[in-house]
Amino acid sequence: MLQQSKVTTVQSDLDIVAARSMARDIAKVLGFRAIDQARIATAVSELARNILLYAGTGEVIARSIDRNGRKGIEVEFRDQGPGISDIDQVMQDGYTTSRGMGMGLPGARRLMDDFEIQSQVGVGTTIVCRKWC
């Protein structure tokens, strides 16, 4: 299968919608069920919104992946924002630095099959998550 990859820059609420649609479209082409398409779209919305809230700008890259005959989608979120000083803390349910419910990162992790986060204070944050068909 030809690898499909798309990029969206996140600078506004409209870009969050575009990132969500981009990921859902790739998932649909890959044959994900509607419920998994919704899970992927929700995770992308949460993580793209974090880019906007905490970094102001960044990018979302969604691509189809194939590992040992297993199809899936991989979505990468990159920003050059303030970074996260304590990843373990922000991955706890209920923790928030904004007025939200604190479900963004841990919620997105639960919606996807694989979830990796790397962050350096003053440099930025990269999150890569995957969902398998």
Query: Which pLDDT does position 2 carry in this prediction?
Result: 47
Task: Give the predicted TM-score (pTM) of the model.
Answer: 0.91
Query: Which pLDDT does position 93 carry in this prediction?
Result: 73
Beta strands of the chain (E only): which ranges?
5-10, 58-67, 70-79, 114-120, 124-132
pLDDT tens, residue by residue, 38-63:
999 999 999 999 999 999 999 999 99
Query: Which pLDDT does position 1 carry in this prediction?
Result: 44
Rounded Cα distance, 107 and 39, in Å: 10
- The residue written with tokens 């398409």 in the block is 37
What residues does each domain of the chain span? 5-132
Query: Which pLDDT does position 100 carry in this prediction?
Result: 53
Query: Which pLDDT does position 101 carry in this prediction?
Result: 46
Can you list the residues of the chain whose pLDDT is less than 70? 1-4, 95-103
Cβ within 8 Å of residue 121, ≥6 positions away: 82, 83, 84, 85
5-132: CATH homologous superfamily?
Histidine kinase-like ATPase, C-terminal domain (3.30.565.10)
Find residue 59's DSSP bridge partners. 9, 78
